[in-house]
């Protein structure tokens, strides 16, 4: 067995995107080689907002209720270039940047979400980025006179699966990168549970937004109390099939999205399918087959008789599960 002591020396210019070499030195056998490496660096970063005009999703004449504005997703896309290659690579770099608003009293930013605060206009830019990178900012206008239609949707999801498509075409392996997620609802036995997810779509928005139950106020109505247990205190809320539940299908849950003053912003119903299986067979057993009245036991102490019988019922289902 031998032990190799090796040194890798990296030498490149990240700002001029040079086509340079990496030197490899093997100090044990004094062998040296080099291989080319091309360094990519962002020439520019462009900020995208799903909506650049944020209207009011709720407005009340009551002084106790503040106007609520819509929000929008912010994304950053970098254009990468390298010497000797005419093609450019455009990739998402949202997770690597920090957005900032020039007027936080008009537009506030939290976790890449820009929310309207009051009427006006604010410019969205990026902090802590090299001066060598050109940044294309975005402008967002907030206007309370523009009413936005709010569509609310809710689903009970028990599992999520994902599929990924990734192109391997050089030089841009990210060109057709795509992740698709599928949510399913399977409530087919007692104790089965799922998460209640609420989405909202604003008029003109590109995609729906998940509404956090810990940040917004919701009112829930459960019209199937005997079969469904709703835990609205968890985040997100959970729905569990109750003991003794039977087959049911329909819109059994109702949700009201409320403003701070209690007035309703939007409402929706939740469809549930309790696909409880039918019993395939039943077996009943008993501890004894003969009984004697309690007042007769004294005269029959020499005989082994019982005054009560315990019955055991076994319910078998098509999936071989058993309930006693």
The pLDDT value recorded for residue 267 is: 92
173 within domain boundaries:
no
Are residue 190 and residue 95 in the same domain, yes or no?
no
Provide the pairing of β-strand 178-184 with 120-127: unpaired
177 within domain boundaries:
no
Are residue 60 and residue 90 in the same domain, yes or no?
yes
The pLDDT value recorded for residue 123 is: 96
Place of tokens 């009201």: 256
Are residue 266 and residue 198 in the same domain, yes or no?
yes
166 within domain boundaries:
no
The pLDDT value recorded for residue 25 is: 56
Task: Provide the CA 174 distance to its chain's centre, in angstroms.
Answer: 23
Are residue 142 and residue 58 in the same domain, yes or no?
yes
Residue among 16, 24, 13, 20 nearest 36 (CA): 20
| Helix residue spans in the chain (DSSP H) | none
Are residue 139 and residue 58 in the same domain, yes or no?
yes
Are residue 206 and residue 243 in the same domain, yes or no?
yes
169 within domain boundaries:
no
Are residue 33 and residue 62 in the same domain, yes or no?
no
306 within domain boundaries:
yes
Show pLDDT as tens, one digit a residue, over the chain (324 residues): 344 344 444 443 444 444 455 555 555 666 677 777 777 778 889 999 989 999 988 877 666 788 889 999 999 998 887 767 777 788 888 888 899 999 999 999 998 999 999 999 999 998 866 777 888 899 999 998 887 888 888 999 999 888 776 655 544 555 555 677 888 888 988 889 999 999 888 886 767 888 887 788 899 999 887 889 999 988 889 999 998 888 888 888 999 998 888 888 889 999 898 988 777 777 877 776 666 665 555 555 555 555 677 777 776 766 655 555
Handedness of CA 156, 161, 167, 173 (dihedral sign): positive
Q: How many domains does the chain have?
A: 4
The pLDDT value recorded for residue 295 is: 59
299 prior amide bond cis, ω within 30 = no
Task: Give the domain-ending residue among 236, 252, 274.
Answer: 274
178 within domain boundaries:
no
Q: Give the span between the Cα atoms of 123 and 100, in whole angstroms.
A: 8
Q: Is 31 helix (H, G, I), strand (E, B) or coil?
A: strand
Range of the domain at 307: 281-323
Q: Are 93 and 42 in contact (CB under 8 A)?
A: yes
Q: Give the span between the Cα atoms of 239 and 79, in whole angstroms.
A: 45
175 within domain boundaries:
no
Are residue 268 and residue 292 in the same domain, yes or no?
no
Are residue 229 and residue 208 in the same domain, yes or no?
yes
Are residue 31 and residue 109 in the same domain, yes or no?
no
Are residue 131 and residue 59 in the same domain, yes or no?
yes
Are residue 16 and residue 68 in the same domain, yes or no?
no
Q: Are 22 and 35 in contact (CB under 8 A)?
A: yes
Q: Is 98 helix (H, G, I), strand (E, B) or coil?
A: strand
Domain with residue 72: its CATH number is 2.60.40
165 within domain boundaries:
no
């Amino acid at each position: 067995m031998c032990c190799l002591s090796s040194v890798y020396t990296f030498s490149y210019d990240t700002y001029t995107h040079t086509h340079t070499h990496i030197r490899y030195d093997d100090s044990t056998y004094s062998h040296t080689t080099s291989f080319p490496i091309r360094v990519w660096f962002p020439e520019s970063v462009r900020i995208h907002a799903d909506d650049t005009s944020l209207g009011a999703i709720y407005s009340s004449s009551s002084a106790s209720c503040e106007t609520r504005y819509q929000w929008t997703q912010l994304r950053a896309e970098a254009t990468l270039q390298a010497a000797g290659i005419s093609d450019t690579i455009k990739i998402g770099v949202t997770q690597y940047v920090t957005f900032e608003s020039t007027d936080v009293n008009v537009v506030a930013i939290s976790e890449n979400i820009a929310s309207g605060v009051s009427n006006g206009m604010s410019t969205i830019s990026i902090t802590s980025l090299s001066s060598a990178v050109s940044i294309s900012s975005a402008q967002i206008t907030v206007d309370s006179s523009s009413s936005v239609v709010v569509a609310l949707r809710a689903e009970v999801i028990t599992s999520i699966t994902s599929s990924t498509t990734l192109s391997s075409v050089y030089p841009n392996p990210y060109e057709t990168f795509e992740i698709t997620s599928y949510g399913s609802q399977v409530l087919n036995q007692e104790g089965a549970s799922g998460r209640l997810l609420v989405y909202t779509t604003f008029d003109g928005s590109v995609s729906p937004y998940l509404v956090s139950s810990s940040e917004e106020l919701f009112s829930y109505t459960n019209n199937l109390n005997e079969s469904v247990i709703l835990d609205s205190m968890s985040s997100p809320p959970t729905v569990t099939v109750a003991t003794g539940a039977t087959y049911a299908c329909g819109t059994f849950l109702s949700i009201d999205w409320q403003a701070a003053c209690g007035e309703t912003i939007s409402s929706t119903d939740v469809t549930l399918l309790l696909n409880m299986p039918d019993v395939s067979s039943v077996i009943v057993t008993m501890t004894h087959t003969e009984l004697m009245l309690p007042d007769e036991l004294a005269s029959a102490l020499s005989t082994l008789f019982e005054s009560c019988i315990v019955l055991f019922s076994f319910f078998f289902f098509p999936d071989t599960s058993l309930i006693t």
